[in-house]
Each structure stands twice: as C-alpha cells, then as structure tokens.
Chain A
C-alpha cells in the first residue's frame, strides 16, 4: 500500500503573537510541520506498518518551504521518503490552487492508494484542501477521520461526525482528512532525526507537473477577528444556579 501524507510547512503556533487589535502576527514565527498534520503522519505510519506499505510525504508551497531543516523535520516523523514542490509561483496560493498542485504531484508519484492529511492548516485553517484535492484526483474524499485500518482489500475508516461515529469500508483510492485528535503522534527522537538526513527526497518542478493555469483570482478585501460576544456579567447563585444557567444558555441559543 502506497500512502501519501500531504502536509503543510507552516508557522509554529507557539511563536505567533497577537497584536493589540486581535489579529495574529506570524512574521517572527519559525516554520514547522503544521500543528495538526503529525496526526496524519502517525496514522499513515501505523497503516503502512500494518500492511507493509510505504509512506511518502508530500508538501507544496513557495521556495522557502524546501530547506534541509524542513526536509528533516518531516522525514523524522516516520516518512520513508519525501516529495517537494517548492516554487515562488505558489507564494500566496489559495487552497484550491494548492490542492490542484498536490493532485498533480500525487499523480506524479503514481500508484497511490491513500492520501492522508491533517484536519486543516494551523495558519489558514480553512480545511478545504483535502476534499478539493480528492475532487481534482476524482477520488473519494472523507473528512473527520478518527481511525483507519486495512481490511478486506481496502480500508475501514471510522469518522467522528456531529451525529455520531460512522464506520465505512472503502475499496478504492481515497483522500482522508484526520481529526486533530485521531491519534497521539509520536515525537521524533534523535535516531529518527539523524536517519531523516539519509532518506530520499525528490524535488518536483512545478513547471513539469500537469497543472492547469490558475482560474479565478482571489483577492482578500478585509479580515477581522471573530466576534468576542458581549459579556453579560450575570452571576447565578443558589440552589437553582444550574437550572438558571441552562435556561440562560438556551435563551442565548448557546446550547
């Protein structure tokens, strides 16, 4: 089984600074494997170990994502090899564009059975890439994946949905986006980090991929922080406090 982990090289949230106006400054943040993506690495490694498969890392973005540190950071997390598409033509690329490039790279890798991703990226957090990628590949795409294992020539996928857990059997190639807490990813030790430097890396040229020209241009007009809501400053006390709280939440539509 050939498993691709599509991940993002993104700012480390520990280094983010919140400006006085509530917007987030990532200018001084060191990059790292995006916060939720190690879950996908871990699911992929476990699936590959159970099936004797291979885990291929895949990331796309501006030229700055391809550094020796970035390569080793990903390869130390259980990948067998890495494929990178790094080109400044992708500076500021929207999620659809990134998904198109990822799809072309997955086709370039060839014979891929599963693409695993994290829930969303830590910086943009739209969560659009996995299913857009599935659409471009013409594959089934499933989000909110809590577990996956090989069974009966395919995969058994457990999804954690608002209505409850659903368990599915998937036969064909598929893109799976894991929930942020699907598994606890292992941390890379010194042996993993040293071994990472010796693993193969393939840099694919964007121009060499079968990527259609960008379609509709996207222009961000404004951003604003999420509404903080109004503090009601209500204190509930006494034996009816719990019931009063429930009633107040109902009234506010918060339950």
Chain B
C-alpha cells in the first residue's frame, strides 16, 4: 500500500501552492465572504493555469486525471479557507459533456473558461429535496416547445449563473422514475424570476428561490434523453460526494492549523494554552479525525480510480467527512474562545461553511438512508 505522492502529484500541488499564494490569499477570501462575492478572478487564474480542465476529456481540451489527484487538489484549495474552491465546476461540466448537445457543450465550456459559474442546479423544491419523487415543477412539451411551471428553492449560485440546469417532471408520465428530465434554461428567460435568500453561511455562493411562471423555450433546451433526467444527474453523485468530502477535509485542516497555531501563541496563566492538557486533548482528537477523513477520502478516490464498485462508500465517506470536519471546526472555535466568534476571524467562517456541508449535497441523514439500505442488502 503506497501512501506516497507521485512526482507529478507533488509538482502539481507545488504549482497550486504558488497560484494560491498569488491569487487566493486569506485577505481575498475574507473580502469575498464579507461582500458575498464569488471567487471569479481565482477561478479564472485556475483556468488559465490549466487546473480547471483537469478531469475533462481530451477532446474538449481537458486532461483526464485520476480521482486521487483531483481530491488532493480540492483538499489543497479548501485548506486555503476557500469553500467549494475546486471540483464542483468539473461536476457541472461532466453533466453537460456527457449528455448535452454540441451547442450546450460549447456554451458551458466557454463560460467555465472565463472563470464563470455556468449553471446552478435546479433540483430542490419547497416540497421536494431528498425525496425527488415529490418534485412538482412541470415541463410540458408542445409544438417543438417546452413550458415550465413551478418553484425551486435553495438554489446555489443562481444569481452568478447564466443558466439553470433545471430538473422538471412530465405531468403525463406516472412512473416517477421516468418522468423527470433535465433542461438548460437561461436565467434571463421570460417568466423566470428569483428571490435571494439571506443565509448565515456559504457567503461566496448566493442561494435563491426560483419561480418559473410558464417559462417557454424551444425543446432544444433538453439535456440528454427525455425522462432520463434523474438517472443522468445520479451519474455524478458519487463523485460529488467525494469532492464535498475533500472540501470538508481541506476546510477542517485549515481550522485545525489555525487553532493549533493559536494554542501555541495564546498565553494564559503565564503559559501558552497549548501547554494545557485539555487543549492538547482537543488538538489530538481533531488530528485523529483529520487523519480518518483523509484516509476515507483518499481510499474512496482510489476505489473510483480502480473502477471498483463504490456501493455505499460515497455516502459513508460524505457522512463521516461532513460530520467529523464540522466537529474539528467546532473544537477549533472552542480553542479560540470569544475571539473565534468575532466577525473577520477565519475560524468563524470555516465553522459556518463546514456546517453547510452537513446538508449540502445530501444531508447526514440521507447518507444513512443510502448507505444503510445498501449495508442491509449486502448482508441479506
């Protein structure tokens, strides 16, 4: 079992370090968080340096890259304190590259190369989220056109995106598994309106309600096969869970490093608080959790690279990474004490952002729902 990095991985991480130092210092991330702005200039710099095309097929100017390398990169970017800093764009591109038309591919890849977020995923609804069978937004095909009606909510990056990758169901199809299709809908389509939701975390990504009032578009906005929308979306869910887990790992490592440095410097009773065993206990348990998350993430990525069946591995990994990473950040906050909750400290941002990963991309509980069924099935 080789836990070492290849020369290529070492050099790539070293290059990424250079870019992060130059394009993504803490002052930049803190400013984005304060002003609720997306990291567009950093994304653009990442694209120019060739990082954003990693994992893309060669025919689209990309470079096929193994999952272990991709999670190493995601971890490193997030270790800089930047939430969702790397990997999610790849997921977005894959949705379109696998199922989109030539025009859709050209449009989405063009937006990605400009550092923009090409589309928001329009999945969650007031009455449907993890329970996709309750999806109420409809797509009615007629005369070469399709008309959408319904409401989406908690849609991440809706205001930043040019498109909505909309999931909607055909009301005439009773079988829920074959009713949902995927569409690429321009955010400025007539009848589409948004309402931004204020939230306490993930400030660099906006969240919106989206109202679709008889939005009518040519049928060419369909992505992939009619009725296969959910199946298409599911294709990349395993990888999404892995990217989220690597994100949690990087953010938690950042919180740990900050807390350990603070413990070494903060003097109380004439000694750095890191000299006290209660603080050492916290740091030790945090280090163990980080090691566990890291091993879980890397091994899951390795399984993907070997084309081995993941079964419940992705859900197990996402559940553990999101929960343990938040526990690490929470203990980091405790070590910082009152300083940690003051606005502008990095640890408070990490704590907020990590909390979001316990439901973003699937709740802790739905991961149990996915993994638990599989575990029982495997032992039946």
Footprint of B on A, CB under 8 Å?
A: 14, 32, 68-69, 72-73, 76, 184, 186-194, 196-197
Contacts and interface: CB of A to CB of B under 8 A. Distances in A.
Greatest chain A CB density within 10 A among B8, B11, B12, B18 is at B11
12 contacts: A32-B14, A69-B7, A72-B8, A72-B11, A73-B11, A73-B14, A76-B15, A187-B15, A189-B15, A189-B51, A191-B50, A194-B8
A196 B6 CA distance: 14
B52 to A, nearest CB: 10
Contacts of A192: 50
B7 A189 contact: no
B22 A190 contact: no
Is chain A's interface secondary structure helix, strand, loop, or mixed overall? helix
B89 interface: no
Given A189-B51, A190-B63, A191-B63, A68 B22 contact: no
Nearest to A194: B8
A19 B7 CA distance: 30
B370 interface: no
Q: Majority SS of interface residues in chain B?
A: helix
Nearest to A32: B14
A188 B11 contact: yes
Contact of A190 (B7, B10, B12, B14): B12
Contact of A72 (B7, B16, B19): B7
A111 B208 CA distance: 64
Interface in B10-37: 10-12, 14-19, 22
B19 A187 contact: yes
Given A72-B7, A72-B8, A190 B65 contact: yes
Contacts, number: 46
A194 B15 CA distance: 13
B63 A69 contact: no
Interface residues of B, number: 18
B49 interface: yes
B368 interface: no
A196 B18 CA distance: 18
Contacts of B17: 14
B120 to A, nearest CB: 28
Q: What 4 A-B pairs have minimum CB-CB distances, sorted nearest first?
A: A189-B50, A187-B15, A69-B7, A187-B18
A98 B14 CA distance: 27
A14 B21 CA distance: 11
B94 interface: no
B233 interface: no
Contacts of A188: 11-12, 15
A70 to B, nearest CB: 9
A245 B376 CA distance: 75
B54 interface: yes
Chain A CB within 10 Å, residue with most, of B15, B16, B17, B54: B15
Contacts of B7: 68-69, 72
A14 B54 CA distance: 26
Contacts of A68: 7
A144 to B, nearest CB: 23
B330 to A, nearest CB: 29
